Structure 1
Amino acid sequence: MTNVELPTAEASLALVGHLRERSPEFGALVDELADAAVALRHVGLTQWQMGRLGSSIEALLAALSLQPQSSDMWRDLASVYNASANIDAADSAIRRSLLLDPQSAQSWLILAGICDRRHDPAAAEAAYRRTIALDATIAAAHFGLGLLHFKQKAFEKAQHALSIAADRDPENGLVQACLGHVLFIRSDFEGSAQAFDAAARLGPLDPESKRKRARALTFQAMIEGSVAQALLNYPTLADGDPEDMTLIIRDAFSVLSASGHLEAAAELGRIRLAEQPDDPVRRYLLDAVSGTAVTAAPADYIESYFDRFAPQFDERLVKALHYIGPTVLFDRVRQHRTRFSCILDLGCGTGLAAEALSSGGPVLIGVDLSSGMLAEAEKKGRYTQLVKSEIVEFLTRSEARFDLIFAADVLIYFGDLSPLLAAAARSLVSGGLLALTLEIGKDADFTLLPSGRFAHTPDYLARLAASDFMVLDLIKDDIRLEAGVPTRGLYAVLQRH
């Protein structure tokens, strides 16, 4: 943080004298206000309004040298520094203001914005909340907090804060548009369209908001009535800028599946499968939303789906869906052991866990069914060996023995886990660890979800593991986002008897 240095009082008074000589109006202003510091502040604020940030800062610094205990002038200076992108100086000035007046809601609001620009979300959130505690009517504080939560992908919190901001400042079209985007992510399509309509009444929507509004109205119509009719109406709702219909159908299927609107999703799935009846991805995902009984995802689905997904996998899963499975799971492993002689990354994908796992031992083998994913994993340069294989088949035929098998986001493609756990036990040395993640189910041992993944109950895992493993670690935590909502998962570390 940069400390803001003030000119000497003598220099500031000299400036006042110079301004008096050059500008009779300034002299009259000083006489009228009977205070040189206040007059200089007035000049500083006027220069700011005119866009002359350098002159504004000079005048405010001079004013503060004459009246350094003015919290308001320190706040003004912070605002001008912030506008000039001198974030360090802005931070220093606003903290000086808060030392003089810690009860100023406006100063806390400015600090929140500065912390946000400094990429310090914890400090920004604390400052926004302090602002609201001091004055809950400040819509900008709720808006800033909502945007902060949005960037953190905490969409429920973002919706709450933005809804308050919209209530406090109903004539702010930007707030309404941001609320529309959050509601869309949270699958409240009716509310999303209403928020976009409120924004449109206050000014023209940006192109992305117009597209989201058309999608929201179309998806809501699919939920309420005929999918076919909703698709026919979509070009009109898109107002002359329709997206490709294939893209709309694909995304509608994905979003409605994830948000639990399975009847509409199944109708979309049938449309998609009719277009490409031999597509294993479309066939399996239709089975998933239709409730077809299966015990594992078919190999042709796994291979085809992830081959297509591989180039965008890291970007989509980590950034868009906030996937944290490998990080949390490896942290749990390190609670029990840090060094291994031979590690197997089961279903390694693009190698999201490779950097962490390679730090744990000299040999790291990755196995995956998708050639596309293995090609991406190869780019990481962390694996001793990469093998294309179905994972149970690999474990069954391989003569290698491992002291850590790492299976993040892999068992979710198996309903019946008994063959996989038995094969893993065979491939582990005595005392070796099996680290895995599952999505948590409720009633049946395993359930096929509309996403095409399986959920399992903790009791089911414990029963299957009992014969070959001891449970070292079992925690519940978030794994990823699904329709804007965190998906709860089970993180387990098992030790081979």
Structure 2
Amino acid sequence: MNPKLSLQVAIALHQEGRLDEAKEAYFAILEGDPACLDALHRLGMLHVQQNEYALATTQFEQILSYDPDDVVAHLHLGNCCLRLYKIDSNQASAKSLGKARYHFEQAIRLKPDYVEAYNALGNLFHQQDDLLKAMECYQKAVLLRPNYLDALVNLGTISLKLERMDEAQHYFEQIVALYPSHDAANFQLGNIAYQRKQLDQALVFYEKIPYHLNAQLNMGSIFLEKGLTEKAIEKFIYVLSLEPKHLFAHSNLAALYVTQKDFDKAISHYYEILSQDPDYYTAHFNLGAIYMQQRKWETAAYHLAIAIRLQVNDPDAHDNFATTLLKLNRIDLAKEHYQRALALRPEDEIAAYRLAALTGTNQPEKAPGTYIQMLFDNYADNFDHELMDSLQYKVPEAIHHLACRYLNEQTELRIVDLGCGTGLAGRYFVTKAKQLIGVDLSSNMLKIAEKKHIYDNLIEEEMATALTAWKNEIDLIIAADSFVYIGDMHELLTNAHQALRDGGYLIFTTESGYQQDFQLTDTGRYLHHADYLKRLATETGFEVLELIQVKLREQKGVPVNGYLVMFTNSSASILQE
């Protein structure tokens, strides 16, 4: 067959993607004519296509043995050597790097305006993290050919690494001017705008590349920053339509659904993550937290135990695991994990408080505010149901009944509800109030109370501190099961006395104790002795009107007994005025 015709056949096979057949055809040509440079070039490039860089070097070296000044062979041989170095950058392959540099420089010596060779030499310096030399090579390439895309992209990338944002922006803008839909350039321009907090401008660039996963993920993050939660959810769902197993998108969606309290959807995404990566710590930890909120303690404990195995030094995992163990009545193991949490984070007030409650040692005078916030923020969604339906909770009615005995038909009163929660007690006093004020440390409880439209004002603050806002202004203060988180109530009652006008009332409940003035129990609540309450009344300027033994609620089917207490700050009551 005519050699030219044979080469045309081989080229046609190559172009059609029939690479193995093309390879055989090239070999057949070279068997008859070992010096056929065109066949050697094309066979070398076919090897490159198939990632056979060592074989490709053989072809290009053979070309140079026939023609030492073949600049294209120098370029391709240098690129193959650089590829071999990237694949295996050990000491032995360092020779490949030196060889690559030699051939790039030879190509430039032979052809000083060879832009591809300058770009390739820049890639070599880039590989060595010699960014300034790399930039110099890329700039020479662009100087020779201003619209040379590869070099412009490389210049933008190097400028980012050197934190030269303005220069990077300039190069990527050049690319977008030439190629408006260029993925990398639009993505990096979006990133630069995002980094500069130019969120709307970042969205413009990301929107141009709808199939770029990271750009679409960043759009979701921007929507979150702008408070557009539903748009963020839509964007992460779109990412999953492009890549159904994208872990970051599943993780973001799960976290968003948690904030929306759509736990079923959150759980679904976390389990999808675990189907791909069974040791994904965040999924186990957050599933534990979700099941804690759902009061599914066994399942919560299962995931938190795995989370601890994966990250044994995470104090939050130990804290949460200990809490679930408490609910499962595994007291000794709960103590152990609170101790481990405290060892990892000595300033952990919650772990210290719970450990004190369980061991009876180092007992504080009141619960930390962080404990109250955490406890009731997590409890808020189930609070009304559990107290009213499961625990036979009658304290609000009891407080209201006692107040009515002394207030009779009095209305237009300024009333403060301490530890108001969701408004279970406050709702009974709406008709008696000119102004009804709720005070609580839990933002989640207050959100629920706000929706009920019971209170004229809601204050997120610690009880004793909130009371300092009033001096002789309040007619009635109520506290339904709020003082059980205070051991030493001296400051609280002093501030209550100062807040009440002459003849005002304070009505509250405590759990009854019979040994000490006050005592922290393993429930995390305090017991108070009746004699302590009477003595405290005298010390803070109150008169005891009522101190009645009552059943507060049931706990695991067992009655919880306490005191229903009513103080007045003057012998002249509102009723007598």
- TM-score, normalised to structure 2, is 0.41
| RCO higher in structure (CA 8 A, sep ≥6) | 1
- TM-score, normalised to structure 1, is 0.46
Larger Rg: 2
